[in-house]
Amino acid sequence: MTTAPAAAPVQLPGPRPQPRPMRRTARRIVRRLPVWLLVTVLLVVMLYPQFWMIMGSFKTQTEFFANPTWALPEQFSLDNYIDAFTRGNVGLNYRNSMLVTLPSVGLIVLAGLAAGYALEVMIWKGRRQVLLFVMGGIMVPGQMILVPLFTAYFKLGITDSLLPMILTYTAMGIPLTTFLMAAYFRAIPREIFEAATVDGCGPLRSFFVIAVPLMKNSMLTIGLIQFFSVFNDLLIALTFTTRPELATIQVGLLSLSDQYGSTQYGALFAAISINIIVLLIVFIFLNKKIMAGLAAGSVKG
C-alpha cells in the first residue's frame, strides 16, 4: 500500500548506475502483481457474463448444441435479433416501456422541482411538517399501495391502458424527488432569489426564470435515477399489465423466458442483449452523471 520509496534516490551528477532502477522496477512489478491479478479476476467476473450473453445472441440454434459453451459464434448473424423483434414482441415492449417511463419521469421531475421550490425557497408556516409528511412516503414499500390502486383503477375503467402505470410510478417517485430537490435548493444561495425580487420579479416568475435554469443539472441527475428505477421495475408493470399488448420490456422478458424456456436460446439471448447494449450506450455517454446521481439518491434517501 505504501509505495513511497524507502531510500530516496540521490540525484548524483553523471551517469547513473544502470542495474539499480531496473531492479527497482522489477521489484515494483512483483509487488504490483497480486493487485493486477485481483483486478483482472474482478474484471473477468464482471464483464465475461455480459460478453458471453452478447456472443450467444449471434449463435444459431445448432451452434448452441454442437459447440462448447464458451466458443465464439461462427458468424455474426442477426437472425436472433430479427426473431426477437418479429416473434418476441421486443419492439412493442420497448415502445411501451418508453411510453410509460418518459411521461412518468417528466412528471416526477417537474412535480418534485415545483414542490422542492415551494418547500425550500418559499417561506411559510408548516413547510417543514409538509416536507416530513412527503418524505414519509420514501419508507413505504410499493406492495402497500398495489391493491387499493388496482381497485381504484379498475373502478375508473382505465386498466386497459398504460395510464395506471404512469400514475403509480409518478406517485412512487415523488417522495424521494421532492426531498432531493429541496436539498438541492438549500444549496443555492438565497441571495439569488432575493436579488431577483428586488429587481421586481415575482416568486412564480423567479421559479421559471431563475430556479429552473439553475436546477438543470439536478433535474438531469434526478431524472436519471428515476429513469432507471421506472424502466427496470417489474412489480408495478406486472400488476397493471392486463394484456400482452401493454407489456413493458421487463414483463416481456419474463414471459419470453417462460415461452421459449429451454428451447429457443437465441431469441432470448438477443432480447437480453438488446437490454444490455442499449443501456451500455446510454451508460457510456452519461456514466459520471449516473454514478453520481444514484449515489446521491441513496445517501439522502
Which range in 11-19, 74-82, 88-96, 165-173 contacts other proteins by CB under 8 A? 165-173
- Closest CB to other proteins among residues 40, 86: 40
Residues 27 and 30: their CA atoms lie apart, in Å, by 5
* Contact pick of 38, 156, 220, 281 for other proteins (by CB under 8 A): 38
Residue among 162, 175, 185, 267 that touches other proteins (CB under 8 A) = 175
Grid cell for residue 84: 426477437
129 lies in the site for other proteins, by CB under 8 A: no
| Helix ranges, the chain (H) | 19-56, 61-66, 79-86, 90-120, 127-135, 143-156, 163-187, 190-198, 203-206, 212-214, 216-231, 235-240, 249-260, 265-300
For residue 211, give the DSSP letter.
I
List of residues 6+ apart from 159 with CB closer than 8 A: 150, 153, 240, 242
Closest distance to other proteins from the beta carbon of 24 (Å): 19
CA distances to 104, 159, 239, 246 from 243, rounded to whole Å, are 20, 10, 11, 6
Q: Does 272 bind other proteins (CB under 8 A)?
A: yes
Residue number, 22 or 37, with CB nearest to other proteins: 37
Confirm or reject binding of residue 231 to other proteins (CB under 8 A): yes
Q: Determine the size of the site formed for other proteins (CB under 8 A).
A: 98
Least distance from other proteins to the Cβ atom of residue 78, Å: 20
Binding to other proteins, residues 43-102 (CB under 8 A):
43, 45-50, 52-53, 56, 64-65, 68-70
Question: For other proteins, which is the closer residue by CB, 77 or 242?
Answer: 242
